[in-house]
Amino acid sequence: MIDKNMKRIFLIFFFILGGCSPNTPEDGSWTAFWNDDAGLMGFKDQNGKIRIEPRYTGFTTAKKFDSIVAVMEEKDGRTEIYYLTKSGKKVGRDHIYLFDNGPDCESEGFIRFRDKKTGLAGLLNGKGEMVVPAQYNDLTNVRSGRVIALKGARKKCPAGGMPADCDHFSWVGGMAYLIDTRNRIIIENFKPNANLDLSSLKTGDAPARDAKRQSFRGVDGRVYSFLDYEKEFRAWLDTAVQNPLSREKLIAISYKNIYFWKEPDGWTTEASRTFMNRNFKIIQNRLSELTKQNSDYFIASGGLNPFIYNGAEFDAYYNHCGEPKEWQYPVMDVVVNHKTKSDSYQDHFEFLRTDNGYRLISMTVRSGPLQ
């Protein structure tokens, strides 16, 4: 006869041997769905099984739920706002991190919170446990296990008003740190010149020789370097648009579809080969201007516009809340300035960083309209 202890050992052995665990039902993303009658939201697992019945309001922007999510619930005539884990744990009541009136979205299994009393920000893990205390003015989301944190700064309103009276403000002063998800400081006084690829970390005893990387001295004395997206893009662009820019080369560096503005339809999309065959000459002419010594252009970095670029093919470029992951897939907008005696205008060429390199995905040509 098998006693209780033997049964427990047998069950543990069974789970290990079978490559699963008692928490298997919680694995994978849960997808949001709505109750049409009440307009409330719940979550289903990958098999379509309802894990949480619809009970949350539209405050929640996450379309998927991996570990932890911000929710709002009307209960007994009261509104509750909190973070919910897959185990059903409710944490961070009234300590939600808000940006532009929307709640934070989990990133790599972590989510930010803001202490209601102090206004300072910290980080929770997927179990709802505080891993970074609320001691920073602000934090970025988690990027390859790292976070940029700001401490000792103050708010500044664009119109010079009081910080409490403005919805949009900037931080001034203070010191930025690169930390990990256990609040260990990696780099003090972290001042990157541009958006960095934090997943591209290399360490050494001396600054990186690669001109496309930025180097920083860590608190442990080692040198940490990261790929600078803008430097990477400029180096690539110099090669991509070198004369002669042939039709086939232009198609090769383009996304499979080109998005462009067309009157009166607005934003329109078309297969890149078809579009380039029809508009090659004007695009070749405009891009070739970048190679001229006196070319007047600049590069602005951003992310995909979810109102233009949507559908399953773009899912990887957004987080679960539909926000562009510009820290991983930036869009480089090449803005070319033109001046004539009677007018001035700009052309825009947008290049998306994909897993297969930069691709021309959108353009706006003001003079000599696209066909």
Angstrom distance (rounded) from CA 105 to CA 278? 42
Q: Which residues pair with 257 in a beta bridge?
A: 271
pLDDT < 50 stretches in the chain: 1-2, 4-25
Task: Provide the pLDDT for residue 15.
Answer: 34
CB atoms within 10 A of CB 332: 22
- Main-chain dihedrals φ then ψ at residue 280, nearest 5 degrees: -55, -50
Cis amide prior to 163 (ω within 30 degrees):
no
Predicted pLDDT at 47: 94
CA distance 131 to 180: 10
pLDDT of residue 151: 97
Beta bridge partners of 334: 299, 349
**What token pair was written down for 315?**
């899912």
The residues with which 302 forms a beta bridge, in sequence order, are 331
* The 3-state secondary structure of 297-333, one letter per residue: EEEEEECCCCCCCCCHHHHHHECCCCCECCCCCCEEE
Full-model pTM: 0.87
Q: Which residues in 262-293 are b (16+ Cβ under 10 Å) and which e? A: eeeeeeebbebbebbeebeebbbebbeebeee
Distances (CA, A) of 220 to 188, 203, 223: 10, 11, 9
- 264: tokens are 């009166």
- pLDDT at position 243, please? 74
Say what the pLDDT of residue 119 is: 94
At 270-280, the pLDDT tens digits run 999 999 999 99
Q: Is 347 exposed, middle or buried (0-12, 13-18, 19+ CB in 10 A)?
A: buried
Q: At 360, list the tokens.
A: 């021309």
| Percent of residues, the chain, with pLDDT higher than 70 | 89
Which tens digit of pLDDT belongs to each residue from 179-232? 999 999 999 999 988 789 999 999 999 999 999 999 999 999 999 999 999 999
Q: How wide is the angle at C-alpha 271 spanned by C-alphas 254 and 325, nearest 5°? A: 55
